[in-house]
Amino acid sequence: MPRARSSKKRRKLTRKTTKKKKSSIRKESIKKRKAATLKELKGLGEGVYSQMIKRRFPSLKIPSRSTGNIIYDDRLGQYRLDDKSVTRSARNIRHIRPFTQLVWTASFTHGLSKTGKTSTLRDIFYSAQAFEIDFQNQRESDNIITDLETILGHSREEFNVFPEERSAIFGDLTIEYTVKGYEGIRTNLTSHPDGFMIGPALSTAELISTKANKVIVIEKGAMFTRFVEEQAFKKFKAILIHTAGQPPRLTRYIIRRLNDELGLPVYVFCDGDPWGMAIAITIICGSANAAHLSGLTTPEATWMGLYSSDIQKYDLPSERLKEVDIKRLYDMRKDPRCQDEPWKTQISHFLKHKRKCELEAFSRYGLDYVVKKYLPDRLA
Amino acid sequence: MPRARSSKKRRKLTRKTTKKKKSSIRKESIKKRKAATLKELKGLGEGVYSQMIKRRFPSLKIPSRSTGNIIYDDRLGQYRLDDKSVTRSARNIRHIRPFTQLVWTASFTHGLSKTGKTSTLRDIFYSAQAFEIDFQNQRESDNIITDLETILGHSREEFNVFPEERSAIFGDLTIEYTVKGYEGIRTNLTSHPDGFMIGPALSTAELISTKANKVIVIEKGAMFTRFVEEQAFKKFKAILIHTAGQPPRLTRYIIRRLNDELGLPVYVFCDGDPWGMAIAITIICGSANAAHLSGLTTPEATWMGLYSSDIQKYDLPSERLKEVDIKRLYDMRKDPRCQDEPWKTQISHFLKHKRKCELEAFSRYGLDYVVKKYLPDRLA
């Protein structure tokens, strides 16, 4: 049982970190982080330039993202890249194209970051045409942006390339914007009951103060609205986040920041099926796709349901698992991220009883049951 | 050409209405509308009750939603139901089940409206179980809610059954909430640059004041963010709405309200493909599915692009239309909602040139081109 032991060790380790963090909230501000990314982008350009001055073919070293170089780090509780790296050199004729694309992308995003403008993956693909940089399709430009993330070790949001999808946040948290035109302006996130969109402005705001003592992350909009209406955010002193299915990266980033900078524990609350579990796992342990990044996962977050065992315990309306659900569960049983509790037990339970259940199923006991009964049970 | 003439008449007619509205903004407040829906729900119950008191089998008359009863009303510029109706009676053994379900749904949503709580279609399906009302699946309960909409002539949002999906709004508009816990609180919708979620609270807020003189509805989040960043909302004095694809009903409802109550013209700005056109058509003319409702369409709204002809005019990067796109265009050519200009010409243009183009394609001319060049062109 070396797995179980190492994961216990991990949890102890992270708990200690939390304590430390709570007493001295991380001081590194968003402004500093932005400045650091900008500096690294500039450094990349300077590296290329200085090689050329020395009359050498410029080259760049990129950590390898091939499957063989992705390992699950038990101590970190997430996937990460191992030591292998590849060199992309202008000397190699097959490298010239991606090398040029990469340098242009670095220069373009440096411009974005400097002027405080944002962009999306799709936008970058089209923007390249203005510079006569040839991307055959968006997959090619997306790949180059991932290369850039890998070199810098920063996610693309940090150099102003944001996702299209948005989710929402609500709760007693005062933020201070850092985006152009809004610098220094503060907003408290209880002031709009439908929730605030998590976009470029919110994710780059400084987190100023909160009276909340936890974060509750919810998969479904209906449940999010219920929590606001039933004043659950007050009762539980919680900041609420609505992921709208698999959380976009910005949302995972803000969850991490709430945990990291404010020391708030995070509870993730999803449908009782393998897809709900997958959302929780992505928030807690990240995905293999993002093994080259570390700022998007929240290893200290807790999956709080729905468990397979809750379906029986609370006698919830449920449906039979489909073939595709069962296949997903078998995959999860082998997944290194699911070797701890409660994952192990719940996966077995799902496979034994073969039932699934949505968050809304609690409505059979009345609209406020989940807030008045289930949540206090689970938090206790 | 009777079509063309009648549509010209329609436009003239609506223009006149706008003028009238601008001078005297509709006074009917959200509170009054809520009270009216509540009264109608109560009336439905009282009708059933009074029949029973008279020892009659209770029955309800429901406008028929069968295809034969859905007609396109050229003058209204949307689909509506014709005169046929069906009677659902407790006397008929085959009617007892849907009759009971309908009465329960009316009573449940009456409770929601009275206490100011909200629900979703999915939630209603589960809530029924608490009352031992048997819905075999969600399609059955969804159908009953549509029956209730049809009887009342109010959309389900007005009796507090809200959709799951959300989109966003941003701009100089001051609203006053009417939801519990927020009554009387005012917010200006420029205060969060990522935009405000359009949920139950926003859609039921009173629209207090605005300095904007138009509404710009945008399909894509990237373009929405661009408009905020480039301060286009200030330059064009516009309230911005991000539909996130086909707009949820709440979003169509708020667009209608901005047009209706504040007299603001509405411009719809989508991808240059049949699916973008379909979004514009849904906002302007509604859908056959919602023929039983009239409060969700904005006949005075204008489709402002991307036109097929813009692809050539602005030399935008484009892709070849797929088989499925072309099929959709042929369907649209027969659609009664597409017999006016610019639809007719643009559909032919699409079919001739067989190219499509996304909003982001403007990025080839730099990130601010769409705001600095295209939009002023089109608005002129």
Q: Which structure tokens are listed for B104?
A: 């329960």
Give A70's strand partners: A81
- Encoded amino acid at A182, one letter: Y
Q: Which domains does chain B have, with CATH numbers?
A: 30-159 (1.10.10.10), 211-379 (3.40.1360.10)
Query: What pLDDT, on a 0 to 100 scale, did the predictor assign at position B28?
Result: 61
pTM for the full predicted model: 0.81
| Res A193 pLDDT > 60 | yes
Which of A191-195, B23-27, B43-47 has the least mean pLDDT?
Answer: B23-27
Query: B355-356 and B319-320 as β-strands: parallel, antiparallel, unpaired?
Result: antiparallel
| Res A5 pLDDT > 70 | no
DSSP A273-323: SHHHHHHHHHHHH--GGGTT--TT--TT-EEEE--HHHHHHTT---EEPPH
| Res B32 pLDDT > 90 | no
Query: What pLDDT, on a 0 to 100 scale, did the predictor assign at position B17?
Result: 40
**What is the mean predicted confidence (pLDDT) over B339-361?**
92
Instruction: Name all contacts of B84-88 with Cβ < 8 Å and 24+ positions apart.
Output: B85/B61, B86/B61, B86/B62, B87/B59, B87/B60, B87/B61, B87/B62, B88/B59, B88/B60, B88/B62
Q: Are B315 and B352 in contact (CB under 8 A)?
A: no
State whether B197 and A196 contact (CB < 8 Å). yes
Residues of A in contact with B197 (CB under 8 A): 168, 192, 194-197
- Encoded amino acid at B97, one letter: R
The percent of residues in chain B predicted with pLDDT above 90, rounded, is: 52
Nearest Cα to Cα of residue B215 among B248, B251, B244: B251
pLDDT tens figures, A124-168: 888 888 888 989 988 999 999 999 999 998 888 889 888 766 789
Query: What pLDDT, on a 0 to 100 scale, did the predictor assign at position A377?
Result: 87
| Res B56 pLDDT > 50 | yes
Residues of B in contact with A168 (CB under 8 A): 166, 197
ipTM score: 0.78
pLDDT tens figures, B178-231: 888 898 999 999 999 999 999 889 988 999 999 999 999 999 887 888 888 888
Residue A28: band (very low, low, confident or very high) from pLDDT cuts 50, 70, 90: low
Pairwise pLDDT comparison (A215 vs A8), residue with the higher score: A215
Which of A188-192, B170-174, B246-250 has the least mean pLDDT?
Answer: B246-250
The residue ranges of DSSP E strands in A121-273, in sequence order, are 168-170, 173-176, 186-188, 196-197, 206-210, 214-218, 238-242, 266-269
Which of B177, B193, B222 lies nearest to residue A193, judging by beta carbons? B177
Query: What pLDDT, on a 0 to 100 scale, did the predictor assign at position A6?
Result: 39
Q: Are B185 and B177 in contact (CB under 8 A)?
A: yes
Show which residues of A are catalytic. Answer: 126
Q: Which structure tokens are listed for A33?
A: 């982080």
Query: What pLDDT, on a 0 to 100 scale, did the predictor assign at position A165?
Result: 67
State whether B120 and A231 contact (CB < 8 Å). no
Residue B58: band (very low, low, confident or very high) from pLDDT cuts 50, 70, 90: very high
pLDDT tens figures, A251-295: 999 999 999 999 999 999 999 999 999 999 999 988 877 788 878
A166, A196, A234, A314: best to mutate for the B interface, most B CBs within 10 A: A166
Pairwise pLDDT comparison (B157 vs A148), residue with the higher score: A148
Whole-number Cα distances in Å, A370 to A165, A297, A310, B199, B279: 28, 27, 12, 21, 36
State whether A117 and B201 contact (CB < 8 Å). no
B225, B249, B359: best to mutate for the A interface, most A CBs within 10 A: B225
| Res A337 pLDDT > 90 | no
Nearest Cα to Cα of residue B372 among B270, B236, B249, B224: B236
**What is the mean predicted confidence (pLDDT) over A302-313?**
92
Residue A372: band (very low, low, confident or very high) from pLDDT cuts 50, 70, 90: confident
What SS3 class is residue B28? Answer: coil
Closest-approach residue (CA) in chain B for A170: B197
The percent of residues in chain A predicted with pLDDT above 70, rounded, is: 92
pLDDT tens figures, B296-319: 889 999 999 899 999 999 998 888
Q: Computed from CA positions of residues B310, B312, B317, B323, in that sequence, does the dihedral angle turn out positive or negative?
A: positive
State whether B122 and A196 contact (CB < 8 Å). no
Which of B116, B120, B366 lies nearest to residue A130, judging by beta carbons? B366
Chain A with chain B: Cβ pairs closer than 8 A? 164
| Res A21 pLDDT > 60 | no
The whole-angstrom distance between B186's CA and the closest CA on chain A is: 9
The whole-angstrom distance between B204's CA and the closest CA on chain A is: 11
Residues of B in contact with A231 (CB under 8 A): 181
Q: Residue A192, Cβ neighbours under 10 Å: how many?
A: 27
Q: Average per-residue pLDDT in chain A?
A: 86
